[in-house]
Amino acid sequence: MKTIQFREAIQQAMSEEMRKDDTIYLMGEEVAEYNGAYKASKGMLDEFGPERVIDTPISELGFSGIGIGSAMNGNRPIIEFMTFNFALVGIDQIINNAAKMRQMSGGQFNIPIVFRGPTGSAGQLAATHSQAFESWFANCPGLKVIVPSNPYDAKGLLKAAIRDDDPVIFMESEQMYGDKGEVPEEEYIIPIGVADIKREGTDVTIVSFGKIIKEAYKAADELEKDGISCEIIDLRTVRPLDYEAIYKSVKKTNRLVILEEAWPFGNVATEITYQVQENAFDYLDAPIIKINTADTPAPYSPELLKNWLPNSEDVVKAVKKVLYK
């Protein structure tokens, strides 16, 4: 095992796959000459050249469409968005072409493409640069959506995404690129659609994903001081979603709290809540609680942002509520 940063895990996954398959290329704003906006493609231009590591104009609709067209012609593009907020400019290509082309062509065209970049808030970036769109993309049939929370998961899942024959939305975080974690030096793949129990527990299940899961870890440490044992599930993939892992845990703990960095209306937590009450209702000893951002655009003010985002205190309160404490 070697300790590396999240950005290095992303770079290693892309580079290792590109060395094996010359149909794979990386395209996006500042991915080449600048080594990536967050240095997640550092050194790749030098190794693979400008035909496979391609800087683009500021035109997400254009280079998303180019990537989809090249995927239809036998390539396996990796399209980087400087932030998924900018993916809204190219969402017509993602939703109407990437997600639907296999069905509309009667299976004649697979679209093996990865759209990757940071999601969610990243400090004081204000309303239009702090949005979490995981549930938007997960809502669309034909797309797979991955949101890793650490370097190990990021590398294994990105390699799986690049090898997948369907379009994959791979969502990172600007606030995680510097995070460090142990990653095997030998090759490994993490299958898409398999959640991971990050912490075993008996009293309550906490489900989360992406960078916000760190608040669940903080809360679990605090709750442990009061003798409360939390089981934490990292979804890793939100489409397809590993419902069975959640059901199994809820049947053990009988309580569920869901932590998600997203607006409260119609998100991933809402879907999980419905599925658990449909398929594991008799095992619940308390209503499910979901924790989300405030139902407003993200504020710029640091104090307002602190109150807008979910935090460990919110998780502690929710866990105590489902335990009637």
Q: Tens digit of pLDDT for each residue in 240-296?
A: 999 999 999 999 999 999 999 999 999 999 999 999 999 999 999 999 999 999 999
- Answer yes or no: 186 catalytic: no
Task: Tell me, rounded to whole angstroms, the distance of Cα 285 from its chain centroid.
Answer: 30
Nearest by Cα to 173 from 197, 150, 206: 150
242: tokens are 């590993």
Average pLDDT over residues 150-173: 98
- For residue 175, give every residue at least 6 positions away whose Cβ sits within 8 Å of its Cβ, in sequence order, or none: 121, 122, 123, 211
Using DSSP, state whether 32 is helix, strand or coil: coil
Average pLDDT over residues 143-165: 98
Percent of the chain with pLDDT over 90: 100
The angle at the Cα of 157, spanning 156 to 158, to the nearest 5 degrees, equals 95
Task: Tell me, rounded to whole angstroms, the distance of Cα 290 from its chain centroid.
Answer: 18
Which of 8, 17, 29, 60 does the annotation list as catalytic? 60
DSSP annotation of 75: -
Average pLDDT over residues 46-61: 97
Rounded CA separation 182/119 (Å): 23
What is the per-residue burial (b if ≥16 Cβ within 10 Å, else e) of 50-86?
eebbbbbeeebeebbbbbbebbbeebbbbbbbbbbbb
- Answer yes or no: 129 catalytic: yes
Which of 129, 172, 174, 231 does the annotation list as catalytic? 129
User: Strand 230-234 and strand 76-80: pairing?
Assistant: unpaired
